[in-house]
Amino acid sequence: MTIKFSEDLVPLTDLKVNPGRVVKHTTEVHRPVLLTSRGRGVAVVQSVSDYEKAEEERDFMRAVVAGLADLEAGREISLDEARARLGLK
């Protein structure tokens, strides 16, 4: 997900004047909007569905990294043992 600075930078005053337009934009383009005050970024607005999707992706990647670290450290179990622990015999 890449911010398009020509479309996704919104002065805080614009958000105050027309918040619905900003929210609609985030939902339609599936990109966050960077809110600015005096030319500096102060906050990000993102649709809930895009936020949840990004959180799921981050959680998945954290789990992958943790799994790879476990393998590297020799902390592994067999597939049969994993199935037994999960009750998937």
d(CA 3, CA 71): 36
- pLDDT at residue 2 is higher than 80: no
Average pLDDT of the chain to the nearest whole number: 93
d(CA 16, CA 1): 25
Q: Does domain 5-46 fall into CATH 3.40.1620.10?
A: yes
pLDDT of residue 68: 96
What pLDDT digit, counting tens, does each position of 39-50 carry?
999 999 999 999
Residue 1 binned pLDDT confidence (cut-offs 50, 70, 90): low
The predicted model gives 50-72 an average pLDDT of 96
Contact partners, residue 36, CB within 8 Å, separation at least 6: 9, 10, 11, 12, 42
d(CA 77, CA 81): 6
Q: Parse the chain into domains and list their residue ranges.
A: 5-46, 49-86
